[in-house]
Structure 1
Amino acid sequence: MVSKAMHRIDQQVPVLPIGDGVARSARQQQRSPYLYTDDEIQRILHAALLYPSPKASWRPVTLFTMLVLAYCAGLRGGEVARLMLGDVDLREQTLEIRETKFFKNRRLPLAPGVMTSLKHYLVVREQAGAPTNPESPLFWSPQRNCGYTVGGIRLILTDVLRRADIKPARGAVGPRVHDLRHTMVGHRMRDWYKAGINPQSKLPYLATYLGHKDIRSTLVYLNITPGLLQDACERFRKNGAAAPQTRESLP
């Protein structure tokens, strides 16, 4: 950027090339988040359960559980990779998230359906011979005798997206795994509107659940979709219709 600015002033100043890694990172940061539909979420989960793994029969359940946590709990890829077996509290139905992006822990209550999936995975994990000490990685690969890395999770879940025919077969274009986190926020906002709940009053709780320092970070995830806009307009219409009736009833 600096070399281009100097080149405009003095054309004898050369324009330095940008490395492929820097350019790729800049393009990725500029990409708009993709919000999956309910049907696409089901297709992704179905593709995970059908993932071909003849030498590791437990892998489809592992991928399915990773995706459930990424979508239903809005976990980052790094948070999924750092989960330990002791972070799961079956009695309290919570999940402890440690060493987050902003260096603070948080405890997440999980929905009954998520807990059911997690309990099933724990049974499969034990049957696969994974270590049972609380400090062992939650997502364990018996073939490699260690936990999954952040990069490994990203690669294999991206392959799931491709097998679900949601992401192109090649290249970095198309929906990303991280977009599941954006979708979680969008769907939560949608469900609040449909339930007649004012989403604004819930944003501080949502920010805490996502592990954000403040609500400003959460606002980045609030992507307006046609469906969400329609729900917001419908809520405004109902509230607006009630207001004139109240004023007319006054003496």
Structure 2
Amino acid sequence: MEEKDCYIFKSKFASYINSFLKEKKQKGLSDTKVLKGFMLEFDKFFQEYSITDLNITEDIILQWRNTRISESKRTLYYKYTAWVNFCRYLCSIGIECYIPRTPREGSQNDYIPYIYTSQEIELIFKAVDKLRIDGNKNTTTMFFMPAICRLLYSTGMRISEALSLKNEDLVFDKRLIYINRAKNGQQRLAVMNDSLFLILKEYKEFRNFIPVHDINSPDKYFFTTQLGEKCSAGSVRVWFHKALYYADIPKQTYVNRPRIHDLRHTAAVHSLQKLISLGADIHSEIPLISMFLGHKNIKSTAHYIRLTTQMFPDLIKIQSKTAFVFPDMKFINTNDL
């Protein structure tokens, strides 16, 4: 069951916004939800302030900025990037516009993820295996939680990528997973290790007993509710937080609250930890980890290297004295939305 497009633009810029989004999608931006959300906000701003002049000026950008006083620096950075792209698009079709500068603050993600220990990962797996529901609920996502949690930790997938997997994307005889609907629009492969292969195969066999027509068809979603429908990430997060509670993992740490997305961060850090402990040179392994996570470039991967050296300082002794000298990644321009 495909999600309906609820992004309807009504301002004077509506047709230009739709054309802009279409061009972005044609250029390979597969997941336009975030950008659509930003453009919907801009569209409502145009309507609320009766902006009908297609020539976007600096004053208009400043007027919009004054309406976003409570937003984080990171969010503002992404929205300014959307403004830059949209204004450049208008200029490219002959509509003269002011091109704002993206703020330096917020260009680097300073969010500190929660990295689960190996013991905590085991506790999470045990907790999701014991999850139960009260009564008959045919829309619950609980029954695939043991499989999806292990998948996220074993492959470093994003939750959105895991829930977008179709049956045809998992090739069990080759133990391969094709991630075709990745965040950056780039296909990548993930490999099923022995334990992941068994748990995914067991889940699939159980799921196929659900009395839904064509539930095992290649074009159907791999993870489904008992009605055969695609699951929401929000529902998975709710069950994951229950598992954290049962595993006695704190809801709030001294930094940030543990999340299901942190399984991805943990997968990266634990992978680096293992590679370094086996004697691998960290610089030569950066591209490998970058491909594993589906990053467009290794700049995003550098964050995990710092986390690894902070959490496992003893590993520094294994490498040479200069192996962990990394340049400051602050204020490096990221790719356009």
TM, length-normalised to structure 2: 0.58
Partner of 1:6: none
Pick one of 105, 111, 136 that aligns with 2:187. 105
Q: Equivalent residue for 1:231? A: 315
Measured at CA, do residues 107 and 224 of structure 1 come closer, stay the same or move farther in structure 2, by a change above 3 Å?
closer
**Deviation at residue 52 of structure 1 after TM alignment:** 1.6
**Residue in structure 2 matching 1:175, options 235, 251, 258:** 258
Equivalents in 2 of 1:221, 1:133: separation in Å?
A: 38
Query: Is residue 134 from structure 1 mapped to residue 218 from structure 2 by the alignment?
Result: yes
Residues 142 and 239, structure 2, Cα contact 8 Å, conserved in 1: no
Q: Residues 207 and 24 (structure 1 numbering): CA distance in 2 closer, same or farther, change over 3 Å? A: closer
Of stretches 82-91 and 228-237 in structure 1, the one that deviates more from structure 2 is 228-237
C-alpha spacing 1:180/1:204, structure 2 compared with 1 (3 Å): same
Quote the residue 1:94 is aligned against: 176
SS of residue paired to 1:107: strand
Q: After TM superposition, list the pairs within 5 Å mapping 1:27-42 onto structure 2.
A: 30-42=110-122
- d(CA) in 1 for partners of 2:291, 2:68: 41
Secondary structure in 2 matching 1:101: coil
Matched, 1:214 2:297: yes
Q: Give deviations 1:80-128, integer Å, cap 9, x for gaps.
A: 1111111110011010112211112112122122111111111111123
Cα pair distance change 1:199/1:112, threshold 3 Å: farther
The answer on whether the counterparts of 1:98 and 1:105 sit within 8 Å (CA) in structure 2 is yes
How many pairs does the alignment contain? 217
AA of the residue aligned to 1:138 = F
Stretches of structure 2 that go unaligned for 5 or more consecutive residues are: 1-65, 76-108, 324-337
Partners of 2:74 and 2:287 in 1: CA distance: 30
Bigger Cα displacement from structure 2, 177-186 vs 216-225: 216-225
- On the 8 A contact 1:77/1:154 being kept in 2, the answer is no
Q: Which residue of 2 aligns with 1:163?
A: 246
Alignment match of 1:184 (pick from 253, 264, 267): 267
**1:160-203 alpha-carbon deviations (Å, 9 max, x no partner):** 2233221428xx95211111111111111111122122232121
Distance in 1 of aligned mates of 2:308 and 2:257: 19
TM-score, normalisation: structure 1: 0.76
Deviation, structure 1 residue 147: 1.4
Q: Confirm or deny: 8 A CA contact 1:81 1:153 kept in the other structure.
A: no
In 1, Cα distance between the equivalents of 2:293 and 2:193?
A: 15
- Going from structure 1 to structure 2, the CA distance change for 1:196 and 1:25 (only over 3 Å counts) comes to closer
**Counterparts of 1:24 and 1:156, CA distance in 2:** 30
Structure 1 residue aligned with 2:231, among 114, 126, 148? Answer: 148
Deviation at 1:151, TM superposition (A): 2.4
Letter in 1 for 2:220: S
What is the Cα deviation at residue 227 of structure 1?
5.1
Write the letter of the residue equivalent to 2:120. E
Q: Secondary structure at the match of 1:95?
A: strand
> Which whole-Å deviations, capped at 9, do the CAs of 1:6-40 have from their partners, x for residues lacking one?
xxxxxxxxx87845xx35986xx643111100110
The runs of 5 or more residues in structure 1 that have no matched partner are 1-14, 240-251
Percent sequence identity is: 24
Q: Which stretch has the larger CA shift, 154-163 or 195-204? A: 154-163
Give the C-alpha shift of residue 63 in structure 1: 0.2
Distance 2:231 2:320 in 1: 46
Tell me the SS of whatever aligns to 1:221: helix
Aligned residue for 1:127, secondary structure, equals: coil
Alpha-carbon distance in 1 for matches of 2:284, 2:259: 29
2:133 paired residue number: 53
Counterpart secondary structure, 1:148: coil
Alpha-carbon distance, 1:56 to partner: 6.1
Instruction: Return the structure number with greater helix share.
Output: 1
Q: Superposition RMSD on alpha carbons, in Å?
A: 2.8
Q: 1:201 to 1:24 in 2, by over 3 A?
A: closer
